[in-house]
Structure 1
Amino acid sequence: MGRRAKEAGAARVYSVVIVIAVLCYINALQGDFVHDDIPALTTNPDVLGTSPLQNLFNNDFWGTPMGDINSHKSYRPLTTLTFRASHWIAGLTPLWFHVGNVALHTLCCILFARATLAVAGLQTPFAAVSGLLFAAHPIHTEAVTGIVGRADVLACLFFLLSFLAYHDEAWWGREKRIFYSSLLAALSILAKETGVTVLLVNLLYDLYRSWPPVKRSIQDMRWNEESIQFARRAAKVFMVTSLLLVFRLAMLQGSLPRFSSQDNPSAFHPCPHVRLLTFCYLAAFNFWLLLCPATLSHDWQMGSIPLVTSLADYRNVATCLFFAGVLWLAYRIIADFESQKHAPLVLGALLLSLPFLPATNLLVTVGFVIAERVLYIPSLGLAMMVAYGAQMLYEKSSARSKTSVILSAGFCILLTSFGSRTLVRNLDWSSREALVRAGIQALPHNAKMHYNLGNFLRDTGKPELARTHYTEALRLWPSYASAHNNLGTLMPGAVDAEAHFLAAIRHSPGHVNAHYNLGQVYRKMNRSEEAVIMLERCLRLNAAYTPAYLLLAKLHSGPIVGRLLRHVNRLQPANADYLAQYAEWLQNNYRFEEAQRYYEKALRIQSDHKASFLGMAKTYRARGQKAQLHQLLLRWHMICCVQRRSRIVYTGDLYLRSWELYKPGQVTSLPEHAKPSHRLNHHHPHLACTNVEMAPLLVSGGETEEQTLDGLCALRDRAEKDMKPG
């Protein structure tokens, strides 16, 4: 009966945790792609399925090859694979990506509740408290509501599975627990790098539970059976950890990720004492966010937290209090190795501290100051320690009924405040505008927030307001290269734009877009030689930057143009626009057979590509292939009928008849007997064969000239590409 009652209590815990986890994120399901979701999902070929599946295991999280110098070096193929599966099932529909994140978070809550019951040994009501606090904690909104935060949630899922496989004997028993635990730890690392810390947590908690026989063995200077078994497990864990670390280092492929001072100012400060004081304060600040998540932001870069430059800074008081608490906690844990009475306290401290180590800048330099998503796994430890503290107060109380009422009321207030804060924070992540405005409200002195808001205002057609926020970003952070670049794209005068692009290059010599944009400005100012120099520098920084090749092709003439366009097609072989552009150059140079091959390739990629239809028609005309031209016009006619679903008048015969009656170079207009029938608009200009332009092939019957379907000739000349933001 006792076992059955315990199982029933555990089932109730899991049920209530599931309900709260879903309710706290129910309003997140309607959110859009925002912030890092856009580059990581909507433009990532590994997610969209436009790249081979094996590329997913060679590229970083953002779709860049790991060996590329510009790679972020974040190797998370398992997370990317889940994104690819979501896209394969439902396309780029944000709803199903959010559903996946909430489902994974719910599973993590269930597994954590299991760990508190089966491994930590919390009483059932207090295990429910820990699970509910974790389910509703507002610090998790970036990881759960932000779609790219799935990396942290998925890593936590396999983290908990690995921990339970190692320490919960009801799962796989004692014989194969190291194997299954190591396998799940490897999956956690493939979801996100911080998953490697589960191996340390497993080993140290195993040491805690095995300490009495291990201590006896040390004192007696003689192995006993329990210490031998622990030594074997420790050796296996060390071996697996070493192999996984070697694999992860090998995936760096000879280079480390590149960060800048604006990403993590404290890590790049020249004074060691400033770095130490700031890092220590940041650890205390992260702990405060776990305790009181009142101020939350999706980005804490660029002056959000000023550097601690002296001992007189009042923030050092908070640092001292935090580390005093850490020392007291360490003392209690060491003392408990002897008594073995406070397992939840020891396990909570391990979960709180070890997964946070990679974010402290003590082991490696990271590209952020504060990142709320990295607190997803450490919050497990805090939730467990809070629940265990409440359990100790209840057990030591002489009036348990009153204590139970007080603790229940306090927990309800805390859970309500956490849940409501999470629901409100979910709304901040619902759209790009909501997120950037929430960021400005939370951190008005953060230059990155003004830059992000400026980007949003620029993209929504409000350039004046965008310039205001770019200017404010530069006031707060004068060396902000991307703000200089984007402000330059909004300058009405070429001189002002040039000044901002030069400033961007001065502060960030590797800024590719600034070099390209400066080349654009020089081209408009007729400073062609300087434009070429800038574009060549741009290509030295990024040899695959296709807009620079296209602009160079406009600045050059002769065979070099063909070589540039051919190289663009090597870089982007599946781009119909680039294929048609090179085919047009071939056609203009009387290489009609080659041009035709490229037009056909473009049409295989995009069957309704208008520029390729136009080019093919010109090629057939130049080669005298009237039958093929007639078939091409019929094909275009059918495509337009399907797309427009309207009454269409076919004028291909008119074009062919005009071709037969008037040879190139004879006239510039059609005579009366060759004019179109009364069903067509007589005011619409029809160019005869003197030019390479052709008459509109398809005209909507009975409509005005403004309502007619655009002819192929309207797309002959490609518009000049806009300047590149960012």
Structure 2
Amino acid sequence: MKKGLQPSEQTYWPVYSLVTLSAVACYLNGLGGDFVHDDIPAVTLNRDVLALDSLANVFKNDFWGTPMVQPESHKSYRPLTVLTFRFNYLYFGLQPVWFHATNVTFHVISCILFAKVCLEVTGLKSPLAALGGVLFAVHPIHTEAVTGIVGRADLLAAVFFLLSLLAYHGQTTTDDRVWTSVLYGALSMLAKESGITVFLVNLTYDFYLHWTYVKRAIFDLKPNSEAASFAKRFTKVGVSTAILLTLRLTILQGSLPKFSEQDNPAAFHPSFHVRVLTFCYLAAFNMWLLVYPSNLSHDWQMGSIPLVTTLNDPRNFLTCFFFGGALLLTAKCLFDIENHRRAPMVLGFCLLMFPFLPASNLLLTVGFVVAERILYLPSLGCTLLVVLGIQELLQNYYKNRQLIACCVLVLIIGSFLRTFIRNKDWGSRESLLAAGLQTLPHNAKMHYNYANFLRDSSRTELAKSHYYTALKLWPSYASAHNNLGTMLDNDAEAEWHFLAAIRASANHVNAHYNLGKLYRKSNRTYESEKMLRKCVQVDCKFTPAYLELAKLQTVPDWEVSHFLRKVIELNPSDPHYAALFGKWVLNKSYHRLGLQYFWKSLRVSPSYRCALVEVLKLFRKLGQKSRLFQMITRWHIIKRHKNVISRNVYLQDWNLKNELKTKAKIYNLRSELNNFTISYRVDKQSPKPKYMANNITSYMVGHMLDNL
């Protein structure tokens, strides 16, 4: 035996190899998927991930890149997960395959650690531990966590969760194991909030194992070293948990996240008994998904699961069955607490129940009814209980072991195939939405999202149909009213939908903005100004509203100037708005002020075409030929060196790929790029030809030729 190598590590390598092979094979076809669903706002549009802001902001913002201090923050604080996204981007750019590969790697690590828990903590034999690792690796409920990139939060939390469990209950007996466990638990919480439940699992399982000594010390008044040692561990973990919870509550900045009725309808129902019945049923439904994950969806909002309003609802049988089973399991574990025969079952029950508590709506309201990726941690307990059940069957019905083995093999193959097929659904936005509609055709949000996709693909009529379906299922769906209004040719009908969106959501910024644009187009200037001013009142950072207000004829010049300056202030890194204001003041004959803002635009982007053209026009008008020539020379130098890789080259590459993909769908691959085509137009009033070009080089050469 090699020095320093534990016997278990050398003996169990076939178990870990089999688990690794199963996990990798199961998710191999998911590596080619794109950014879909929540991946887009959490990764591709997140400034913390794209390294556009300082590293310190990762620890100040929520998971979606919004500062925790802002009221609109989601309050999900997961800096460790965001850091892994950031490293993915810095090393590989926005190439989805590497994000997926990292997720699969974390899933493999979780599977290996779970097999290690089965071996070292529960004491299962190698074949059963391998079976547990394989069943966990291929469980279909994990597809959202593994194939969906934002599911990395659950994967990373599970890795540190299991490390904490192994540090606390593993074979090592060092004095620092409790503090090591606390450290891993804290890291799990920084990956996802539910990771903190590992402390509850550790203490409960520890209490169960040492109940005999604790009872002797408390009830029989016979102090012993085992009870004293447990008390020390309990104190360390309890104080650490209290400190971490206090810090987490402090990070919330004194406010909880705000959710709407469409996110969690039961939480907004006025009847207490309806809320209780529905929340209990949702808990049972989540557990049912762990046992029988046949119908899976990436979104369960907006009436996907109707409220349980009466006691005679048939769904209450599932609730009673689940809670009855949980009570029987608890009673069985408590009856055997003296001899510890059910210790692995206790651990499985703790792993099933405690990580699910934060999502159960029992402690605090959450923004979803069902979310498959939050079941990643509870599935540890479900898998362990299934393996223990198989162990019981083999012990009691050993003669039928071949039949049991065949059933287990069918379970593994079925789970593998279901996961393999489900991975394909996560391959693209279209396939995910189509699969969601097939599973939940009565989900209003699913129709809304699919309509958005169809609109982006220029399939207008079909998009309208799905918007109408979404509104039929959820009449007060403000965003569906708004988006449908933007697609209608009938102004009166469009106005009705915009007003319906405002009635459903009084602070719906886009509805106010679109209605203001509609009124401006219809020459209803007063009403347009009223809507647009309401828009900026609701959101003082909404740039398009300021631009629309600046176009209104009733707005005085001093206020137009104020609006355009405000836009520049809100978008300091965008050269377009400084150039826009410069052009406006230039039309007012303020040449020097216009030139000042053109220079400001060029400082942001030295090769910005609009600002360059306006500066060249101004130099030509003022007769400053030498400065005109210097600007042309400067532009050529910039263009010559523009092929140097910038820090955002991967972001530009991903944006370009998606832009071209969208254009290909819109034009059906019949359009061609003509970015460098030069068109000529002869001015009848002048004997000299004027060159009008799409290419900026030709445009400036034309100006230079006119001045020769």
TM-score by length of 1: 0.87
Amino acid in the other structure paired with 1:366: V
Contact 2:680–2:693 (CA under 8 A) maintained in structure 1 = no
SS in 2 for 1:340: coil
Q: Matches of residues 14-93 of structure 1 in structure 2 within 5 Å?
A: 14-93=16-95
Question: 2 CA distance for matches of 1:333 and 1:300?
Answer: 34
- CA drift at 1:300: 0.5
Question: 2 CA distance for matches of 1:436 and 1:590?
Answer: 53
> Once the two structures are superposed, what CA deviation does each residue of 1:108-156 show, in whole Å capped at 9, x if it has no partner?
1111111111111111111111111110000001111011111111111
Contact 1:696–1:712 (CA under 8 A) maintained in structure 2 = no
Hey, what does 2:578 align to over in structure 1?
579
Specify which of 399, 405, 408 is matched with residue 405 of structure 2: 408
Does residue 395 in structure 1 map to residue 395 in structure 2? yes
- Flag structure 1 segments of 5+ consecutive residues without an equivalent: 645-679, 701-707, 715-726
- CA drift at 1:6: 4.8
> Once the two structures are superposed, what CA deviation does each residue of 1:647-696 show, in whole Å capped at 9, x if it has no partner?
xxxxxxxxxxxxxxxxxxxxxxxxxxxxxxxxx9764559989xxxx954
Q: 1:568 to 1:7 in 2, by over 3 A?
A: same
Hey, what does 2:318 align to over in structure 1?
318
- CA drift at 1:567: 1.6
Hey, what does 1:341 align to over in structure 2?
341
Hey, what does 2:273 align to over in structure 1?
273
Q: 1:312 to 1:688 in 2, by over 3 A?
A: farther
Q: 1:6 to 1:62 in 2, by over 3 A?
A: closer
Amino acid in the other structure paired with 1:576: P
Hey, what does 2:295 align to over in structure 1?
295
Q: Which moved more, 1:408-417 or 1:588-597?
A: 588-597
Question: 2 CA distance for matches of 1:525 and 1:559?
Answer: 25
Does residue 492 in structure 1 map to residue 489 in structure 2? yes
Q: 1:472 to 1:544 in 2, by over 3 A?
A: same
Contact 1:121–1:343 (CA under 8 A) maintained in structure 2 = no
Q: Matches of residues 675-686 of structure 1 in structure 2 within 5 Å?
A: 683-685=681-683
Q: CA RMSD in A?
A: 2.4
Q: 1:564 to 1:396 in 2, by over 3 A?
A: same
SS in 2 for 1:162: helix
> Which structure: larger Rg?
1
Question: 2 CA distance for matches of 1:611 and 1:180?
Answer: 59
> Once the two structures are superposed, what CA deviation does each residue of 1:246-293 show, in whole Å capped at 9, x if it has no partner?
111111112211111111111111111111111111111111100110
Question: 2 CA distance for matches of 1:614 and 1:246?
Answer: 57
Q: Which moved more, 1:260-269 or 1:629-638?
A: 629-638
Q: 1:713 to 1:333 in 2, by over 3 A?
A: farther
Contact 1:697–1:712 (CA under 8 A) maintained in structure 2 = no
Does residue 605 in structure 1 map to residue 604 in structure 2? yes
Q: 1:265 to 1:161 in 2, by over 3 A?
A: same
SS in 2 for 1:367: coil
Hey, what does 2:446 align to over in structure 1?
449
Contact 1:58–1:66 (CA under 8 A) maintained in structure 2 = yes
Q: Matches of residues 174-185 of structure 1 in structure 2 within 5 Å?
A: 174-185=174-185
SS in 2 for 1:299: coil
Contact 1:269–1:275 (CA under 8 A) maintained in structure 2 = yes
- CA drift at 1:407: 2.5
Q: 1:487 to 1:709 in 2, by over 3 A?
A: farther
Q: 1:64 to 1:621 in 2, by over 3 A?
A: same
- CA drift at 1:698: 6.0
Q: 1:592 to 1:54 in 2, by over 3 A?
A: farther
Contact 2:680–2:690 (CA under 8 A) maintained in structure 1 = no
Does residue 439 in structure 1 map to residue 436 in structure 2? yes
Question: 1 CA distance for matches of 2:269 and 2:694?
Answer: 66
Hey, what does 1:482 align to over in structure 2?
479
Q: 1:418 to 1:699 in 2, by over 3 A?
A: closer
Contact 2:682–2:690 (CA under 8 A) maintained in structure 1 = no
Contact 1:140–1:373 (CA under 8 A) maintained in structure 2 = yes
Amino acid in the other structure paired with 2:113: L
> Once the two structures are superposed, what CA deviation does each residue of 1:171-216 show, in whole Å capped at 9, x if it has no partner?
xx43112222111111111111111111111111111122111111
Does residue 463 in structure 1 map to residue 460 in structure 2? yes
Contact 1:686–1:696 (CA under 8 A) maintained in structure 2 = no
Q: 1:619 to 1:187 in 2, by over 3 A?
A: farther
Question: 1 CA distance for matches of 2:194 and 2:157?
Answer: 8
Amino acid in the other structure paired with 1:14: Y
Hey, what does 1:628 align to over in structure 2?
627
Hey, what does 1:210 align to over in structure 2?
210
- CA drift at 1:600: 2.9
Specify which of 499, 509, 512 is matched with residue 509 of structure 2: 512
> Once the two structures are superposed, what CA deviation does each residue of 1:305-346 show, in whole Å capped at 9, x if it has no partner?
111110111111111111110110110121232111122111
Does residue 12 in structure 1 map to residue 14 in structure 2? yes
- CA drift at 1:475: 0.5
Specify which of 153, 163, 171 is matched with residue 155 of structure 2: 153
Hey, what does 2:109 align to over in structure 1?
107
Q: 1:628 to 1:140 in 2, by over 3 A?
A: same
- CA drift at 1:640: 6.5
- CA drift at 1:544: 1.4
> Once the two structures are superposed, what CA deviation does each residue of 1:51-70 show, in whole Å capped at 9, x if it has no partner?
12111111111111111121
- Flag structure 2 segments of 5+ consecutive residues without an equivalent: 644-677, 703-708
Contact 2:632–2:700 (CA under 8 A) maintained in structure 1 = no
Hey, what does 1:615 align to over in structure 2?
614
Amino acid in the other structure paired with 1:33: F
- CA drift at 1:391: 1.3
Q: Which moved more, 1:595-604 or 1:279-288?
A: 595-604
- CA drift at 1:590: 3.9
TM-score by length of 2: 0.89
SS in 1 for 2:12: helix
Hey, what does 2:257 align to over in structure 1?
257
Amino acid in the other structure paired with 2:580: Q
Hey, what does 2:530 align to over in structure 1?
533
- CA drift at 1:639: 6.0
> Once the two structures are superposed, what CA deviation does each residue of 1:580-624 show, in whole Å capped at 9, x if it has no partner?
112223333444444334323333333331111112213333544
Hey, what does 1:652 align to over in structure 2?
none
